[in-house]
Amino acid sequence: MQYRRLGRSGLQVSVLSLGSWVTYHNQVDVAAAKEMLAAAMDAGVNFFDNAEVYALGKSETVMGEAIKALNWPRLSYVVSSKFFWGLAREGNTINRRDTLNRKYLMQAMDGSLQRMGLDFIDLVYCHRPDPQTPIEETVWAMSDMITQGKALYWGTSEWPAADIRAAWEIAERHHLHKPVMEQPQYNLFCRKRVEVEYARLYEDIGLGLTTWSPLASGLLTGKYRDGVPQDSRGAVKGMDFLLKGLTDEAKNAAVAQLAAVAGDLGCTVGQLAIAWTAHNPRVSTVITGASRLEQLKDNLGAVDTIAKLTPQVLAKINEVTVALAE
Ligand SMILES: NC(=O)c1ccc[n+]([C@@H]2O[C@H](COP(=O)([O-])OP(=O)(O)OC[C@H]3O[C@@H](n4cnc5c(N)ncnc54)[C@H](OP(=O)(O)O)[C@@H]3O)[C@@H](O)[C@H]2O)c1
């Protein structure tokens, strides 16, 4: 495993990490989570990603129970949560969803701590921007979570570059804890935010990246080339919004061409796609996902592919994918 600093912070994270979106509670129970967390830790993974909204809180419960059963030393792992969407889906949801106001954030933090069974969460994120709340209010709340010892570092997810910079400047002005990392989608078909929009932020404010969906939800493994397999994310209830992308003909044809490039390197196309995201030095960690142990093991093998991405290989990958990338 390789380790990288999380942006300008002193915290070192494994270049491949493991997340729990869709999988925990729906496809992965506590026993399976325990097995996969242990396998990941054995391979050197030290960061495990979560969010309040994943399985409406149950993903945090599953991860908390599995980690408790594993009895890991607290210094050996980094866990995260993210706040924005809230848990309320019925009745009066005012201040309970789609917000980054102080009241919601402080109570969401306490709820996540309780579900995870932890005294603090290492990384906390504002899961989306909230144009209804002044950025200054959000920055104070996130910084206060750290001052109170409930979180160690904070960041954003899918925020526009201008909002990240504004948050950093507010924190600088008031001597508050600054945002350290952003969590954007980054894969062969989704590149512009990381490569263009955020370009200035890496040097200017030392932004670190914990990127998501390196396989574009599984598309980049080639599993959707002949339709939607019954046991795949594309067939999971509530995931229909992904189907258009997963079954996109041009993208699936590109994945077939990438498989040939991967074959020449002696790796799977999924490993090639994950290694490609890790190859970008602006990426602190690539958050992978897996619904079963074999997938996790396959994905962790991508570490050995990173060094094989020579300029010639990268040019071949670009040739096949760049026109399809957003
Ligand atoms: N901040 C955000 O807004 C945000 C959004 C999304 C995700 N995330 C984070 O990023 C993490 C990773 O995202 P992701 O789960 O979308 O990652 P991904 O790597 O793009 O997709 C993972 C899914 O692809 C399939 N898969 C993985 N490895 C495979 C393999 N070797 N062979 C065949 N199929 C394989 C599995 O689904 P099936 O087996 O069910 O097909 C797996 O759950 C999430 O868990 C979450 O922590 C954050």
* CATH code (residue 7): 3.20.20.100
pLDDT tens profile 153-176? 999 999 999 999 999 999 999 999
State residue 108's pLDDT score: 98
State residue 194's pLDDT score: 98
Average pLDDT over residues 214-230: 97
d(CA 144, ligand 1 centre) in Å: 32
Q: How many CB atoms lie within 10 A of CB 263?
A: 12
State residue 78's pLDDT score: 98
Counting from 1 in the atom list of ligand 1, the atom nearest the Cα of 294 is 31
Percent pLDDT > 70 in the chain is 100
Closest CA to 127 of 102, 155, 148, 166: 155
pLDDT-derived band of residue 217, with 50, 70 and 90 as boundaries? very high
Torsion of CA 198, 304, 215, 131, to 10 degrees: -30
State residue 203's pLDDT score: 98
Task: Please state, in angstroms and rounded to a whole number, the distance separating the CA atoms of residues 53 and 60.
Answer: 9
pLDDT tens profile 103-125? 999 999 999 999 999 999 999 99
Average pLDDT over residues 124-134: 98
d(CA 92, ligand 1 centre) in Å: 32
Which domain does 222 fall in, by range? 3-324
pLDDT tens profile 242-254? 999 999 999 999 9
Task: Report which residue type is found at 96.
Answer: R
Angle at 21 between CA 18 and CA 22, to 5 degrees: 125
State residue 279's pLDDT score: 98
State residue 23's pLDDT score: 93
Our measurement of the distance from residue 315's CA atom to the centroid of its chain's CA atoms, rounded to an integer in Å, reads: 26
- Letter string b/e over residues 53-91, b meaning 16 or more CB atoms within 10 A of that residue's CB: bbbebebbbbbbbbbeeeeeeeeebbbbbbbbbbeeeee
Average pLDDT over residues 196-203: 98
State residue 168's pLDDT score: 98
d(CA 27, ligand 1 centre) in Å: 12
Counting from 1 in the atom list of ligand 1, the atom nearest the Cα of 125 is 1
The secondary structure of residue 325, as a DSSP letter, is -
Helix and strand numbers (H, E) in the chain are 12, 10
Catalytic residue (one of 24, 54, 186, 198): 54
Name beta bridge partners: 165: none
Ligand 1 atom 7: residue of nearest CA: 212
Ligand 1 atom 48: residue of nearest CA: 212
State residue 42's pLDDT score: 98
Count up the domains in the chain and report the number: 1
How high is the mean pLDDT of the chain? 97
Task: Report which residue type is found at 174.
Answer: H
Percent pLDDT > 90 in the chain is 100
State residue 146's pLDDT score: 98
Specify whether the CB–CB gap between 107 and 86 falls below 8 A.
no
State residue 8's pLDDT score: 97
Please say if 104 is a catalytic residue: no
State residue 101's pLDDT score: 98
d(CA 218, ligand 1 centre) in Å: 7
pLDDT-derived band of residue 20, with 50, 70 and 90 as boundaries? very high
